[in-house]
Amino acid sequence: MPYVNKPRPYKRENELYKSKPEQIEMRVKRNKARRDAIRDGTAAVGDGKDVDHKVPLSKGGSNAKSNRRVVKASANRSFKRNADGSVK
């Protein structure tokens, strides 16, 4: 854990990573998938579930309904990851 004794530099993280156009585009797609799942009734606000992309957006997956599923947040966030944080 890199930030054990010091606060996490959110401002710097946002400047260097989250404000990049490709990250903004991915965030927009994830948010749209969540809104669609709520509208379809497969997810609800505060239900503790995530909209999972079977083929991750970072690996070239689409935001099509056939590539999405609703799973428990703990299951979706437990994938093995590479050093850069991407899904293996």
Per-position DSSP letters for the chain, written without gaps between them: -TTSSS---HHHHIIIIITSHHHHHHHHHHHHHHHHHHHHTS--TTSSEEEEESS-GGGT----GGGEEEEEHHHHTT--B-TTS-B-
Task: Examine residue 48 and state whether it is found in any structural domain, yes or no.
Answer: yes
Task: Examine residue 2 and state whether it is found in any structural domain, yes or no.
Answer: no
Domain count, the chain: 1
What's the mean pLDDT in 37-62?
A: 92
Task: Examine residue 4 and state whether it is found in any structural domain, yes or no.
Answer: no
Task: Examine residue 38 and state whether it is found in any structural domain, yes or no.
Answer: yes
What's the mean pLDDT in 75-79?
A: 79
Q: Is the pTM of this model over 0.85?
A: no
Task: Examine residue 84 and state whether it is found in any structural domain, yes or no.
Answer: no
Q: What is the pLDDT at residue 3? A: 56
Which residue range(s) make up the domain with 29?
10-76
Task: Examine residue 5 and state whether it is found in any structural domain, yes or no.
Answer: no
Task: Examine residue 65 and state whether it is found in any structural domain, yes or no.
Answer: yes
